[in-house]
Structure 1
């Protein structure tokens, strides 16, 4: 393994999954596993009669839904438009300055 490679074990729904990751990303992986575990636990409490497949499918859907919501909240198009406007303003200012 490289210096930055790091082996961790993530536990999800009672099973352990070994992963080789970049050492710098360990916290992110552990947080992700915790979110999955908490979501599974929450669905198990709400839907006690459902089998594992249903619980895991609902968990996957919930995590994917959160991901898409996060992606939408990061819409940078307005920011990019504002930067272009500022760039144009600076260009116009410099052109005017050159004329003088």
Structure 2
């Protein structure tokens, strides 16, 4: 499989990455989202330290991932309960 070398800017720092070409769009969108969130935090709060901004951004996205996982688990539980209910009938 081929690899692609790109540079991604996150929080005013450039990170060189070697990735699979099919991942480039996702990585660039993720970096854009991170930078947009950092900008929003800078505009809405008195936080200026980049490490604090990155930590808060990480916390927000980790929370979203956990909520999404719980939602998937809940949906699977509902499907399982429906299957059991249908089997009992």
How many residue pairs end up in the alignment? 86
Name the residue aligned to 2:70.
Answer: 72
Q: Return the match for 1:42 from 17, 40, 55.
A: 40
CA distance in structure 2 between the partners assigned to 1:34 and 1:79 by the alignment: 35
Q: TM (normalized to structure 2)?
A: 0.76
CA distance in structure 2 between the partners assigned to 1:22 and 1:81 by the alignment: 40
Residues 29-55 of structure 1 deviation map (CA, whole Å, 9 limit, x = unaligned):
111111111111110111235422322
Uncovered stretches (5+) of structure 2, i.e. residues with no partner:
none
User: Is the 2:47–2:53 Cα contact (8 Å) retained in structure 1?
Assistant: no
Deviation beyond 3 Å, 4+ runs, structure 1: 77-86
Name the residue aligned to 1:29.
Answer: 27
User: Is the 2:5–2:16 Cα contact (8 Å) retained in structure 1?
Assistant: yes
1:61 shift after superposition? 0.6
User: Is the 2:5–2:18 Cα contact (8 Å) retained in structure 1?
Assistant: yes
1:84 shift after superposition? 7.5
Structure with larger Rg: 1
2:66 alignment partner, SS class: helix
1:83 shift after superposition? 6.2
Q: TM (normalized to structure 1)?
A: 0.69
User: Is the 2:41–2:47 Cα contact (8 Å) retained in structure 1?
Assistant: no
Uncovered stretches (5+) of structure 1, i.e. residues with no partner:
89-100
